[in-house]
């Protein structure tokens, strides 16, 4: 498979700048792989496709406000710092991206507050835009994290050109988010409202949770034409014994098992064994899923509409079938479905 096989023309106006007014009012395209048919629904109709004891698996990661703005020592130049991951809790060392990167060198200091209470020193270069920072803050670790949260803003994807609005703090987060660690939302889950969760519960649907802390690597463009040569950046994934048992029981009983989002699917496919059993897992995954791929756990999937040549689109193509997915995307563009993080959704059965 080649990267160019996943190219298509996506009109700019179909990139969603805002979420739907209500979470479950987004459009839902339903793909049936067996009959290769497509239906057009609203997300709240998802409940109609599942029966008692079918299983939804959610990614319960929580987005933290990862985008900070600081000023460079001496010049005062404004620098965007995007927190990627904490490397050392004790010494407050983080992997970050900086913009504009050309101005930031090892030894530079960045000031984030007027009173200079939060300062960072650049201690290493990692990639063209990547840097390692050591934060200097006179307070406990809890106070330091609270200060990052206070100064940080919701890390909306770069394609959203508008300024961050107060509602983004709530809407760029799933309602079931629990474990902080993601720098991007698991966006398929953004469509679930409390009301919809209640309706699924009343119908007798079962729920399981995994954690995959979404990093920016998921969105990195693929620079190679041969997909087998692309390397994904690692993301932390956690599945505990309780949830592994719930998932294995549903698979053994041949129920409908729905992975909510590509990040949930990546966590499942990372931890599944050759006999299609999920084991407890805590580690890093750089699993890159593209066609052909034999999925071991989920037999249905909810996902958003993804951008051309993205790793996310490739995973969905592996699940839905590439030709069927390309046809569905054509339909989506014709029917003005919204794409990407705040966009509409797809249910693949």
Instruction: Check if the beta carbon of residue 214 is closer than 8 Å to that of residue 186.
Output: yes
Cα separation, 30 vs 302, whole angstroms: 9
Terminal-to-terminal C-alpha distance of the chain: 24
Q: What pLDDT score was predicted for residue 127?
A: 79
SS3 label, residue 223: coil
Q: What pLDDT score was predicted for residue 282?
A: 97
Cα separation, 312 vs 200, whole angstroms: 26
What digits encode the pLDDT tens for the residues 190-221? 999 999 999 999 999 999 999 999 998 777 78
Cα separation, 154 vs 239, whole angstroms: 26
What digits encode the pLDDT tens for the residues 256-306? 999 999 999 999 999 999 899 999 999 999 999 999 999 999 999 999 999
Bridge pairing between strands 281-285 and 235-239 = antiparallel
Cα separation, 179 vs 177, whole angstroms: 6
In the block, tokens 């041969």 appear at: 226
Instruction: Check if the beta carbon of residue 96 is closer than 8 Å to that of residue 111.
Output: no
264: tokens are 């949930």
Instruction: Check if the beta carbon of residue 95 is closer than 8 Å to that of residue 126.
Output: yes
The 10 Å Cβ neighbour count of residue 230 is 17
Burial of residue 266 (CB within 10 Å: 0-12, 13-18, 19+) is: buried
Instruction: Check if the beta carbon of residue 177 is closer than 8 Å to that of residue 46.
Output: no
In the block, tokens 């710092």 appear at: 81
Which stretches of the chain are DSSP H helices? Answer: 141-151, 168-171, 194-202, 241-252, 262-271, 311-320, 322-334
Cα separation, 247 vs 207, whole angstroms: 9
Q: How far from 57 is each of 11, 37, 134, 163, 266, CA to CA, in Å?
A: 32, 24, 37, 32, 12
Q: What pLDDT score was predicted for residue 155?
A: 94
Of 328, 284, 335, the C-alpha closest to 306 is 328
pLDDT-flagged residues of the chain (< 70): none
Instruction: Check if the beta carbon of residue 280 is closer than 8 Å to that of residue 241.
Output: yes
Q: How far from 32 is each of 35, 233, 269, 292, 328, CA to CA, in Å?
A: 6, 32, 22, 18, 11
Angle between helices 311-320 and 322-334 (to 10 degrees): 110
Cα separation, 75 vs 58, whole angstroms: 46
Q: DSSP letters of 119-158? A: EEEEEEE-SSSEEEEEEEESS-HHHHHHHHHHH-B----T
Q: Which residues contact 308 (CB under 8 A, 6 or more apart)?
A: 6, 7, 8, 9, 10
Gyration radius from the chain CA atoms: 21
36: tokens are 């290769």
Instruction: Check if the beta carbon of residue 319 is closer than 8 Å to that of residue 265.
Output: yes
Q: What pLDDT score was predicted for residue 219?
A: 74
């Amino acid at each position: 498979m080649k990267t160019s096989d996943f190219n298509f023309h996506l009109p700019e106006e179909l990139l969603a700048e805002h979420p739907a007014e209500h979470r479950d009012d987004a459009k839902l395209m339903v793909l049936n792989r067996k009959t290769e048919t497509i239906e057009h629904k609203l997300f709240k109709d998802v409940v109609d496709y599942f029966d008692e004891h079918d299983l939804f698996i959610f990614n319960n990661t929580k987005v933290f406000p990862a985008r900070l703005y600081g000023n460079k020592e001496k010049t005062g130049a404004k620098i965007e710092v995007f927190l990627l991951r904490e490397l050392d809790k004790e010494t407050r060392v983080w992997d970050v991206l900086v913009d504009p990167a050309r101005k930031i060198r090892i030894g530079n200091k960045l000031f984030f507050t007027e009173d200079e209470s939060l300062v960072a020193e650049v201690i290493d270069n990692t990639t063209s835009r990547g840097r390692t920072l050591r934060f200097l803050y006179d307070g406990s670790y809890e106070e330091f994290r609270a200060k990052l949260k206070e100064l940080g803003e919701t890390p909306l994807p770069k394609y959203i050109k508008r300024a961050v609005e107060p509602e983004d703090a709530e809407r760029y987060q799933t309602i079931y988010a629990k474990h902080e660690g993601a720098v991007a939302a698991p966006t398929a889950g953004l469509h679930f409202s409390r009301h919809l969760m209640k309706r699924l519960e009343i119908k007798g649907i079962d729920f399981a949770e995994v954690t995959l802390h979404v990093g920016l690597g998921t969105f990195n463009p693929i620079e190679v034409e041969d997909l087998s040569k692309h390397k994904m950046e690692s993301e932390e994934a956690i599945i505990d014994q309780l949830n592994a048992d719930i998932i294995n029981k549903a698979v053994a009983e041949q129920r409908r098992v729905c992975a909510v989002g590509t990040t949930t699917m990546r966590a499942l496919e990372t931890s599944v064994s050759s006999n299609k059993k999920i084991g407890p897992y805590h580690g890093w995954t750089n699993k890159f899923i593209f066609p052909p791929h034999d999925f071991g756990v989920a037999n249905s999937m909810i996902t958003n509409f993804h951008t051309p040549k993205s790793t996310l689109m490739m995973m969905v193509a592996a699940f839905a079938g590439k030709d069927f997915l390309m046809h569905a995307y054509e339909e989506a563009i014709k029917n003005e479905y919204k794409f990407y993080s705040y966009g509409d959704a797809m249910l693949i059965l």
